[in-house]
Amino acid sequence: MRRHLFAISGTLALAALACNLPGSPVVEPQITLPPVLVITDTPAVPPPTPVQPSEVDLEFIQLTAPGPLSRVTSPVVVTGFSLPTFEQNVVAQVTDMNGDILSLQPATLQSEMGEAGPFETTLNFNVNEEQPGRISVYYASPRDGGLVHLASVPVTLLPPGAETQIEPAAPEDETIQIDFPSPLAPISGGLLTFNGYSQYFFEANLGVVLCGPGGSGAPDPICGTVDNRLATHFVMIQSEEMGLPGPFAGEIAYSVGAETPARLVIFAASPMDGGIEHLTSVEVVLLP
């Protein structure tokens, strides 16, 4: 199912990326957009349909309620629709203005195993004053516990007794679409190149992490454990104008001694709390 991305302003602070991605060199991606198709009044032959970079897959995890900018009190019912996940499970959470998790609940897709389906769960939280927050739903890797996909919506968290205002949420195309490499693609030579298309985030920055097969060190939200991070980087969204979506491309170096399952992760982080606003990934196979 294909449709055009909406231009939605996001937020991503370089300071947040500097904390998460130390020492990462900046790669200036070279993007060539499809040529503009000029159609005359009486063409000799029907012109070909141009391929638009904004034609991407439907969002992996759709949050149907609450929608962006909703004002919510506890408990808040979170509903959505997701592509199939491991054992049909996703996790929903509420975070406050500091990024602290106030509530965390699992949800199960109401569909046959291996099929997309709706989900619903209820989150209870407590705040003493009105403040910005975020409701996120994510799918974690059964291999390493890191994030495979995360979608979120900004909301205002209200103390008990305040008036709730739930805004509608419209279906969206994938917020960050990885076009290359394809799933389970073999990568060799110590350099993984990638490209895709993304909605706009603050200062047009996206974080890039290459996660390995698993680790046993300190917890890491993206790769499961810190020692499972094979490489980190960041790229720029090549928007035609500030605030618009656009393509991105880059490359990330790696070193493995044998065939290694890995996950290329591309994400946007929040300048408010450093938390993840959106994250998508693709499984690859690294070769020496």
**Domains plus CATH for the chain?**
1-34+51-57+175-288 (2.60.40.2550), 60-171 (2.60.40.2550)
- Distance of alpha carbon 195 from alpha carbon 285, whole angstroms: 17
**Vertex 63: Cα angle to 110 and 159 (nearest 5):** 110
pLDDT tens column, 18-70:
334 344 444 433 333 333 333 333 333 333 333 333 333 579 999 999 999 99
Residue 116 reports pLDDT greater than 70: yes
The β-bridge relationship of strands 117-123 and 76-82 is antiparallel
Q: For residue 14, give the H/E element and its range.
A: helix 14-20
- In this prediction, residues 276-280 reach a mean pLDDT of 97
Per-residue pLDDT, 57: 53
At residue 86, does pLDDT exceed 60?
yes
Q: With bands split at pLDDT 50, 70 and 90, how would you rate the model's confidence at 233?
A: very high
**pLDDT tens per residue, range 117-128:** 999 999 999 999
Question: Could you tell me which residues are beta bridge partners of residue 80?
Answer: 63, 119
Mean pLDDT over the full length of the chain: 84
Q: Kindly report, residue by residue over 197-211, the tens digit of the pLDDT.
A: 999 998 999 999 999
